[in-house]
Amino acid sequence: MKTKKVGSAGRFGARYGRKVRQRVIDIEVKQRQWHKCPYCLKSRVRRLAVGIWKCKSCDSEFTGRAYEV
């Protein structure tokens, strides 16, 4: 379930408390947006898995942090 207020954290329903669900929302928004490539400097990097990132422009794969490059 996804609503406008809680976004993807709606899947938790009323469990875990508001602050924990808000942290989940913040992390998931950060990890799903486009990031800047350290090689070609374009904002075309997407997360493949935990700590694995791929640039759609220069086609380079590299490691980074879990949720952000």
Q: What is the pLDDT of residues 3-49, one digit of tens each?
A: 778 888 989 988 999 999 999 999 999 999 999 999 999 999 999 99
Sequence-distant (6+) residues with CB within 8 A of 66 are 31, 50, 51
**Where in the sequence is the domain holding 58, given as residue range(s)?**
34-69
> Within this chain, do residues 56 and 67 fall inside the same structural domain, yes or no?
yes
Same-domain pairing of 43 and 13: no
Same domain, 19 and 38: no
pLDDT of 1? 63
Q: Are 3 and 26 in the same domain?
A: yes
**Number of domains making up the chain:** 2
Tokens of 13: 């329903």
Q: Whole-angstrom Cα distance, residue 17 to residue 32?
A: 23
pTM listed for this prediction: 0.79
* 50 & 60 share domain: yes
Q: Are residues 21 and 38 in the same domain?
A: no
pLDDT of residue 2: 64
